[in-house]
Structures are given as structure tokens and as C-alpha cells.
Amino acid sequence: MVATPRLDEVIEYLQAQGWTPQTQWRNGQVWSHGEFDVLVPDGEVVDYGARMRALVRCVADSEQRSTEIVVRDIVSGGVDIVGYRAGDAATEVSVEAGTAALTALRSLLVICADQVAGSEIRIATMREHAVAELLNSTILLPRRDVFGFDLVLAGPGSRLSRRAAVRLLDVAATMREATDGRGFGMGAEMWSDTVEMFSALGSAERDPMRFELSFHWSRQVPRPGVVIEFSSTEIARLPRLLDVGTIASSPLPTESVPGAEQPAVIEGVVVGVDNDGGPKATVRGVLFVDATSTGRQRRVTVRLRTPEEYVKALVAHRSRSRVRATGIFDGRRDLQISENGFTVIDGDGS
């Protein structure tokens, strides 16, 4: 656990969550909530720590949350939490699918944070710093019952954190409606890379599995909790949404691309950005390898060289500006940028 909560913190939390005090018992007081009872010890008892651990386990069971999350919530005075759950207790998730899901959720948080920061922070480098600070202050806690994890965001005092989470909730709700054919429009509100990320959350291109995103808000700045669930059938529909978008996504089979380690250039739009393992951008466009077109549009991971290029990629992603990336292609998906090889070819990129 993060820390052993103080008695006053526990009582404040139980009151806020609707628990009510009942009878005295063994140097403590019984508090009840529905079918659950906990014993709140007096602060002076010698086994305070053990009793508090038992209390937290019971509260976690009643809320169907992890003990780590409950303790952090009690001690911090309230946190915003975005949860991801996939499949059920019997679902086996491969390393590849699990990594793709975590990367997709991280990218969605980055995009949402960058979008809301863009309305308040005009200088690109300051926006990048604010988003990076949000990621650094976000805690990742794995689930133990099913495959998944909780993103514990910065406290309610972080305006960017709360607004990014609300933005992600809005995007998830819109995407959920899109799987039923309701209200889907491919534009600034719902780009094709968003479809790809939600597809990754449900392993749409491998073995579609149900997943849910849950939003639990700090009691200091309360909002109703929300769970948005995608069934395996709805997950299977996600890739088809790309067919009705204004930006097509048609990655080519690996064998149709010329051999590895050749000079290449791609022009297109930035559909994703990431800084995990080094700065990179996902560009969708027509790839030319050794001056020969590979045909239809495809997605290429562009490995950037400098923080300045990463900032350019962030701005281009937000403004939907076209970019040109020049470098060495590995024959599969990655293009390593050459020096000064990343250029914004419309828009100012700043």
C-alpha cells in the first residue's frame, strides 16, 4: 500500500462514500455500507496497522477497486482514475496485445491532453512540457482480477489532468456510438488514428475482445462515475469505420514493400505521436522507397532525432498539417529520420 491512512482521513473518506457509523466494538466503531461492515479502530490501538489493512480490503471489495487505489484515494484526498479492463478472468492476453493496449491508452491520453492544452497554451514547447508533466505525474497500477490497469492521474488541483480525462471520456462515448452507426463523422473530433487506438484496446485486428474504460472522479471535485463498455462484436466493427472516413488507412502487406534498409520518403499527415523509447510520429501517406512508390496509403513509424522535431510532429498532428519525412526505411514499418529530414510542408509547424 502507498501509506497507512490516518484515522481522520479514513473517517472523512467513509463519510464521503456514504458509510454510516453503527455500534462500538473492541476499541473501535463499526461502519456500514449496504452489506459491508468495517471496523474503524481507535488511533491508539497496538494493531492499528493490521486493522487498517483489513478495513481497506473490505472497502476495496465493496467498491470493486484495488486496495492500492483505495489507499491512494484516502491519503490524497481524492484522485481521478481512468481504468481499462479487457476480457474476463479467463481471457489470455499476449504480450503484443497487452503492450499495444497500454500504448494506445497512453497515446489517447497524450492526444487529449495536447488538445485541451492547445486552447490555453499558445507556445508549443510549453504545451509539450505540460503534457510531459501530466504523464510523469500519472501512476500506472495493474489489475489483479482481469487484464487491465488503472491510470491514477494528478490530483484535482491539476486543471489539465481533469480536462484531459473528461476529453477522453467524450471521445470514448463518441467512439462507442460510432460502433452502432450513430453520429460518426471523421474530422477534427474523430480522426482515423482514434479508431486505430480503440481498435488496439480491443485487439480488433487479432482476436476481438470486450473491454471497458471507467472514469472515477475525485470526491474533491465530484462527477458521476462512468463506465463505457465495448463488446467483442463492436470491437470487430471498429476497423470498418476507417472505410467511411475522409482519410483512408490501407497499410500494405510487408512483402509488397521493397527490401530493408533503403532510402525512403513519406508525405502525409501525422496520426499519432509518442515519446516512449525515443520520440516518434506515425505518419499516414504514400511511401516512396528508393524513389519507387509502394502504392496505396500506409502507416509508417517515423523515428525522430531531436526534441524540436517531436514538437513539430505534435503541432502537425493537432493542426492536421502535411509533413514530409526522409530517411532510411527498414522494409517493414520504421523509417529512421535523416538529419533535417522532418519537414512540415503546409502550416507553420510552430
Please state the pTM of the whole predicted model: 0.61
The two counts, helices (H) then strands (E), for the chain are: 9, 14
What single letter denotes the amino acid at residue 72?
R
Q: What is the DSSP letter of 91?
A: -
* pLDDT of 286: 85
- The full DSSP string for 211-266 is EEEEEE--TTS----EEEEE-HHHHHHHHHHGGGSSS---PPPGGGSPPSSEEEEE
Considering only CA atoms, which of 226, 114, 224, 237 is closest in space to residue 177?
237
* pLDDT of 191: 61
Measured from the Cβ of residue 15, the count of other Cβ atoms closer than 10 Å reads: 12
Kind plus residue range of the DSSP H or E element containing 301: strand 298-303
| Beta bridge partner(s), residue 81 | 152, 216
Q: What is the pLDDT along the chain (350 residues), one digit of tens a residue?
A: 467 888 988 998 898 888 999 988 888 899 999 999 999 988 778 888 888 999 999 999 998 778 887 887 888 767 788 999 998 878 888 888 899 899 999 999 998 898 888 777 777 788 888 888 899 889 898 887 789 999 988 765 577 888 999 999 988 988 888 887 654 444 434 566 788 889 999 987 778 999 999 998 887 777 888 999 999 999 988 877 765 443 333 333 333 344 457 899 999 998 888 877 788 998 888 889 888 877 667 788 899 999 889 989 988 888 888 999 999 998 777 899 999 999 998 764 44
* pLDDT of 223: 82
Considering only CA atoms, which of 50, 46, 16, 49 is closest in space to residue 31?
16
159-178 vs 232-241: helix axis angle to the nearest 10? 90
* pLDDT of 159: 77
Q: Give the separation between CA 250 and CA 296, rounded to whole angstroms.
A: 6
